[in-house]
Structure 1
């Protein structure tokens, strides 16, 4: 029975639903922060700028060092190609729709939660809802094994030898860093420095460089441009998400209508992501061209406001 006639497991569609939920709660929760800002500034007796910096630091630190963030949210954006190599564009569109739907509906729910439980209770409830992302993280445990069941090459198959070399390096480091406490005196050299300590320092340096592998910037300088582009895009995108509702209220719009602006923005976001995803799949557009076009169109939209 060849791969073409083999039925596709339903697990990957369940994973797709989970990835949709991850985006829904991630961006939807961030968008809902705009509902809290006015009450938080009054309750904490501080300025809107300080609250905005606190939210930005919380989200930024979570992206860089967050244990749950790194194991659930970032893999949810990168693992689509492993589970849907045959319908990558459509699957990516569905995953990205989660953030748009969350942006559209979760602020409405948050507004009702604030009215019922205050902003502190609403944040606790949103935290409990976000905890459901752990189930999605468990589903994504073995994408390589999933694709082997389908009889398809894994996306990282070309790096298998690199992984073996890395494991060999780690084993060598572990061997070098093993210190016999009974023979410390024998390891002392003429300068009075322990050779074992030097080995530990070298091994620690090697492990640090393996974890924070900055060689990618030297081997692929274009990656620096990608990082800078993503950084500037995130500044404008997340700033718009967090401060849309407070900015509308500052301009005299009632809180109920200000929350509806978030719903309208989410609906427009859904239309844009659906259009781009299906057009890319139908017209076989190059990702680089599509990305540049979307960035130019987005910049024009912000400049025209």
Structure 2
């Protein structure tokens, strides 16, 4: 109860609500395209590969724009326009997609939607990182529980709009509803107070340590020696090179080589994320399941997704490490995917889809927590940006390969056979992190 009261009275609340809304939009649009896929095929003559590319671009741009969003977010003067523009683009992209006349236009419109989601994601996560404090894990998981709601509410709405308005009218109405993110984004407090800035500067100066001062002193001696010898030496160029070299040597990428395995974990995870979410509904419909039963199945998956995101925040906030939770959820998904592939029964699919949604949804939260736990506090934004860039590439590859395999074998079952293999690689990478924990600064 105390935590709930603290959330309601803290500046984290608008950020959590904004994360909830854009996450429900992100996953909901993917499911809506799955509901409308037959109508889109008839109208635009799309193939599974075309749909895979379009959804892959949606997911890719929602991730690869994160580094740009974080870089722009560092400029205080443009934070407010940045957040508002990020909130506007998803609604604009979906509305434009309703008027598309070719597969290329659909892909471009969904890319615009992804760009907006990526900008908003970067702004929200960085803001929450600064204001959430000790309850970051819980607030973060509560915000991303919106994925579960988007999995069921938007497909239900899309199905009810298809009969009177068709797929174009349905997308247009959904695009208008997505615009509710805009007033929520306007209410976010994206500016840092003076105390937070001072604390960050003190932490950075402390983190540099005596070793950095010694190395800089030695390099200054080298400069003076070279100048005394009368050689042509550009001190300004050496200073820039020195700053870059020192920055890299002090970064987690250099001081903690195992930290780089995190990006392999994210790459393979998001291949699975995009492949599963993009082709779940077509996979179910191709097996002869009715639209009504398909919606029931997505509802079960949505419950699993929402439950897992909330429970992961609670577990990692007090009891278990994020890496251990990641390992358990990965194992569950491998089992669920294998059962789904080899047992084509509706009730079995009901259970496996719920378990897979729990695993994928939970890791969507835990993955960021793994990075935040492993990275240095002052370098989290850089690590987050690099991870989202890598994840975006994984998203595109997952959607593209899923569509190509479905085209080649004329079955979405082939796509779902690919996913356990990728999960196996993901499991090996996360075990490497588990066996090589972060070294304590004190022990060094």
TM over 0.5: yes
The corresponding residue for 1:268 is 304
CA drift of 1:95 comes to 0.8
69 and 159 in structure 1: CA distance in 2 versus 1, 3 angstrom threshold: farther
Q: Hey, what's the Cα distance between the residues in 1 that align with 2:259 and 2:50? A: 32
- Going from structure 1 to structure 2, the CA distance change for 1:84 and 1:51 (only over 3 Å counts) comes to same
CA distance in 2, matches of 1:109, 1:17: 21
Structure 2 residue aligned with 1:183: none
Query: How many residues of Structure 1 are paired with residues of Structure 2 in the alignment?
Result: 249
**Is 1:299 aligned to residue 334 of structure 2?**
yes
Distance 1:219 1:125 in 2: 51
Q: Are positions 1:279 and 2:315 aligned together?
A: yes
Q: Distance in 1 between matches of 2:253 and 2:165?
A: 48
User: In 1, Cα distance between the equivalents of 2:48 and 2:7?
Assistant: 54
Determine the C-alpha separation between the residues in 2 that align with 1:275 and 1:8: 20
Provide the rounded CA distance (Å) in 2 between the counterparts of 1:234 and 1:144: 31
Greater relative contact order structure (CA < 8 Å, 6+ sep): 1
Structure 1 residue 295: deviation in Å? 2.3
- 1:278 is displaced (CA, Å) by 2.0
Whether the aligned pair in 1 keeps the contact of 2:15 and 2:128 (CA below 8 Å) is no
- Structure 1 regions of 5+ residues with no counterpart? 1-5, 162-201
- Partner of 1:123 in structure 2? 171
Task: Give yes or no for contact 1:40–1:119 (8 Å, CA) kept in 2.
Answer: yes
CA separation in 2, counterparts of 1:268 and 1:17?
Answer: 20
Query: Over alpha carbons, which structure has the higher Rg?
Result: 1
Select the residue among 128, 152, 167 that pairs with 1:104: 152
Deviating more after overlay: 61-70 vs 46-55 = 61-70
Q: 1:120 Cα deviation (Å)?
A: 1.6
Give yes or no for contact 1:35–1:259 (8 Å, CA) kept in 2.
no
Q: 1:290 pairs with 319, 322, 325, which one?
A: 325
CA-atom RMSD in angstroms: 3.4
| 1:23-102 equivalences in 2 (<5 Å) | 23-65=23-65, 67-102=115-150
Hey, what's the Cα distance between the residues in 1 that align with 2:41 and 2:335? Answer: 33
User: Shift of residue 94 of structure 1?
Assistant: 1.0
> Alpha carbons of 1:216 and 1:89: their partners in 2 closer, same or farther (altered >3 Å)?
closer
Match of 1:226 among 259, 262, 266: 262
Is the contact made by 1:81 and 1:155 (CA closer than 8 Å) also made in structure 2? no
Matched ranges for 1:201-240 at <5 A: 217=253, 221-240=257-276
Select the structure that is richer in helix.
Answer: 2
Length-normalised TM-score, structure 1:
0.69
Structure 2 unaligned spans of 5+ = 1-5, 66-113, 206-236, 341-444
Say whether the 8 Å CA contact 1:20–1:96 is kept in structure 2: yes
- The answer to whether the Cα contact below 8 Å between 1:72 and 1:136 also exists between their aligned partners in 2 is no
On the 8 A contact 1:82/1:155 being kept in 2, the answer is: no
1:265 and 1:155 mapped to 2: Cα distance? Answer: 42
SS at match of 2:133: coil
Distance in 1 of aligned mates of 2:178 and 2:171: 10
1:201-227 Cα distance to aligned partner (Å, 9 max, x none)? x9xxx9xx9xxx9x8755654443222
The TM-score normalised by the length of structure 2 is 0.49
